[in-house]
Copies of this chain bind each other. A is one copy, B any other.
Amino acid sequence: MQFEVTHRDAGSQARAGRLRLPHGVVETPIFMPVGTQASVKALSSEDLRAIHAQIILANAYHLYLRPGVDVLELAGGVHRFMQWDRPVLTDSGGFQIFSLAELNKITEEGAAFQSHIDGSRHFFTPEKDIDIQIGIGADIIMCFDECTEYPAPFDRAEKSMRMTLKWAERCKRHWLGRAAADQALFGIVQGSTHESLRRECAAALVDMDFPGYAIGGVSVGESKAEMAEATGWCTEILPGDKPRYLMGVGTPEDLLAGIELGVDMFDCVMPTRNARNGSLFTSAGRVNIKNAKHVRDFGPLDPACRCPVCQTYSRAYLSHLFRSGEILALRLNTLHNLFFMLELSAQVREAVRDNRFGAFKQSFLQSYAGREDE
């Protein structure tokens, strides 16, 4: 993996860059669609190419349980399995073990849990998690960490952060031992909303020297102000020549806030989940396609949008599909919302290259704050 910051915005910490990975180049800042189970919900790999997705996420916990790492290895890796030839990042699955699975016991050695699918028992150590992710074959893999819940008192957050640091060291050592692996390993900063913990964790990870760094434990219930604060503490310390990834974030507004603080990469299920619930992004704000006023609106969802959906179908048809419970509604809505996030990323990159990120952000938010329907 190679990362290069090609432009720095004059009026903020926003930057534009290029991330070279085994399966291609990713231009940053970038939004990464979430394909938890080796499928971005409702879309095919061809759909993802059509909306210019550059890198997608998959999840080690989910893929380990189903179809299993052996199946992915036999397939020749997740890329060949899902016929997606561009970069993939796998999340370690730590978050899912602590939220989705039935967690039986967590010690410094690792986490014992039962599958949410069939109740089967499993034990993940940092080393095993790295092996799983290498088996899946993504371009970027993540350290096994504990995503600290919110709110977390200082003592609890400190204890959790220190374990995440110990796990990060073990992940790094194990990853180094698998020298043939193509994967770039990212460390994850925890520390909840506590400044000294965030700074200490970031500094310790930088000392370990990872190819890239993520900020975890955000977007877990804290306020926007708290999220921005925590992000800022981290980006102040994380090295400027390494990619920075804000995990599980976020809305169009969150993306801009993170980019302003120097973040390069984002992922979130919100654009796809909202799409499936009929909540759609437009340049003039969010549209609730269930709203009765769209039933007879034969214009495009967003006249300013160049996505395949806005180029082809009317609000009236999207409204009809959603109200009728048609499966096609899920796909068209998802195509549109993801295109919106990817197009926003592209516009930000251009603004940063032109030294006008601040003006772009202001103009975007002014229009977007219209929030047409909500």
Contact = CB atoms under 8 A, between A and B. Distances in A.
Contacts of A46: 312
Nearest to A319: B67
Contact of A316 (B71, B296, B324): B71
A75 B39 contact: no
Interface in A1-59: 37-39, 41-46
Given A37-B326, A327-B327, A298 B83 contact: no
State which size class the interface on A falls in. Answer: 35 or more
Query: How many monomers of this protein are in the complex?
Result: 2
A186 B320 CA distance: 28
A320 B67 contact: yes
Contacts of A319: 67
Contact of A317 (B42, B82, B331): B82
Interface centre among A38, A42, A317 (most CB of B within 10 A): A317
Contacts of A43: 328
A330 interface: yes
Nearest to A309: B44
B41 A298 contact: no
A38 B322 CA distance: 12
B74 A39 contact: no
Interface string A292-321: 000110100000000000001110110111
A317 B81 contact: yes
Contact of A71 (B37, B38, B295): B295
Contact of A328 (B39, B296, B313): B39
A174 interface: no
A83 to B, nearest CB: 5
Contact of A320 (B66, B295, B298): B66
A323 interface: yes
A320 B37 contact: yes
Interface of A: 37-39, 41-46, 62, 66-67, 71, 74-75, 81-83, 295-296, 298, 312-314, 316-317, 319-321, 323-324, 326-328, 330-332
